[in-house]
Chains A and B, each alone.
Chain A
C-alpha cells in the first residue's frame, strides 16, 4: 500500500515536470529550434570541410553523429539548465518530488528535443549528401533513438554538474564526449551499415553495444543524480 503511494507520487511528479517542460517548449520552441539550427550549421560546415562525393554512406553517417553530438551538448539540456537560471531548482528540491522523478522528466524532455532535431537532421542529410529516400532510412530510426536516449541520459547527469559551477561553461562537452565514445563508435558504425545496406548481423552487433551504453548511462544517471543535485 505504502509503496504504491510513493510510486504514484513519483509518476505524478514525473508527468508534472515533463508536462511543464514540454509546454514551455511548445510556447517558445527555444530548444528545438536551437538544436535544428545547430544541426543544419554542422552539416553545412561538414559538407564544405569534407567536400565529400555524393552518396557516401560512411561520411554521411559521420556527419550525422557530429551534428548530433554538437547539437546535443549545446542544446539538449536546456530544460535542465532553465531551472537554475531563476533559482527554480530550490523550489523543485523543496517539493516532495523524488530526485529520480526529476531526473527522468528532464531526461525525457532532452530526449524529445534531440529526437525532433535528429528527424530534421536526417532530412537535411538526405538532401545534402544526396542519399536515396527509402526503406533503408527506417533502419536508422532505432540507432538514432538509442543514441539520443543514451546521450540525453548522460548529458542530463553531467549538465547538472556543469550548472553548479560558475566557470564551467564548457565542462559538459569535456566530460560527456569522452564518456560517450563507445556509443559514438557503435552509432556511427550502425548508421553506416544501415545507409550502405550492409547485412543485418553487422548492424545488430553495433546496436547491442549501443544498448549496453544506454543501460550504463541510464543506470548511472538514475543512481547518481541524487548525489549531484542535492545542494549544500
Chain B
C-alpha cells in the first residue's frame, strides 16, 4: 500500500481548503440580515454532509463485513465512524456558534438539532463499543451490528423528532432555511466548501484506514509468530523427550 494517493489527496485538500477559506472570508458578500455570523454556514453545511455520508459508510461497510467477512470492511467502517464523529462534533459546535447570536441561545430542541444530537450519541456508543471490545476477536461483528441498527434507526428518528416538534410549539423562532442564498457568489462559495470538505474527509479517511490496515497486518504477523513459537517449543520438548524413551 503506497502512500502516494493519500499524498495527492492531501495536496488537493490543501488547495481546495485554501480556496474555500479565501472565498468565505473575502469573496462572498456578507448576508444582509444575519451579518458576519452567517459565514460559518459555509463550514457548517459541508460538515453536516460529510458526517451523514460517513455514517452511511459505517452501515454499508458493516453490512459488507457481515456478508463477506473480510477484515478490510471492518477497518473501513471503523475509520469512517471515527472521522464521521469528528465532523458530527464540528456540526454541533459550528451550529451552536451560529445559533447564539441568531436565535439567542446556544441550543434549542429544534428537530434538526435534536436529530443530529441523537446521531452523535448513536455513534459515540458505537465508538465506545469499539474501544471497550478492542481485545475480543468478534469486535468487528458486534460493531457492524450496532452500526447497522443505528443507521436503520435514523429514518424513524427523523420522523418522530419532526412530529414531536411540530406538535410542540417551538420556544424560539426557528427560521430554518432562512439563509437565503440570493447571491450567486454564495452558492459558489458553498459548492467550493462542500468539495473542500469532501476532499478533507476522504483524505482523513484514507489516512485512518491505512493506519488500521497496518494494525491488522501487525496483528496477523503477531498471531503467526505466536504459532511459530508454539511449534518450536513443542519441537524442543519432543526433542528432549525422545532420547530417553
Contacts and interface: CB of A to CB of B under 8 A. Distances in A.
A196 interface: no
B206 interface: no
Contacts of A158: 146, 149
A230 B154 CA distance: 27
Interface string A210-229: 00110010001000100110
A93 interface: no
Given A179-B122, A179-B150, A164 B159 contact: no
Contacts of A51: none
Contacts of B149: 154, 157-158, 179, 220, 224
> Which interface class (under 10, 10 to 19, 20 to 34, 35 or more) fits A?
20 to 34
**Is chain A's binding surface mostly helix, strand, loop or mixed?**
helix
B140 to A, nearest CB: 10
B167 A178 contact: no
A139 to B, nearest CB: 18
Given A189-B164, A228-B141, A167 B159 contact: no
**Is chain B's binding surface mostly helix, strand, loop or mixed?**
helix
A164 B167 CA distance: 42
Contacts of A205: 163
Given A161-B129, A165-B136, A167-B132, A185 B152 contact: no
B156 interface: yes
B220 to A, nearest CB: 15
A206 B122 CA distance: 22
B153 to A, nearest CB: 5
The 5 A-B residue pairs whose C-beta atoms are closest, nearest first, are: A182-B160, A178-B121, A182-B156, A175-B125, A232-B137
Given A164-B138, A178-B125, A228-B141, 11 more contacts: A164-B142, A171-B129, A175-B125, A177-B121, A182-B157, A209-B163, A213-B160, A220-B148, A220-B152, A227-B141, A232-B137
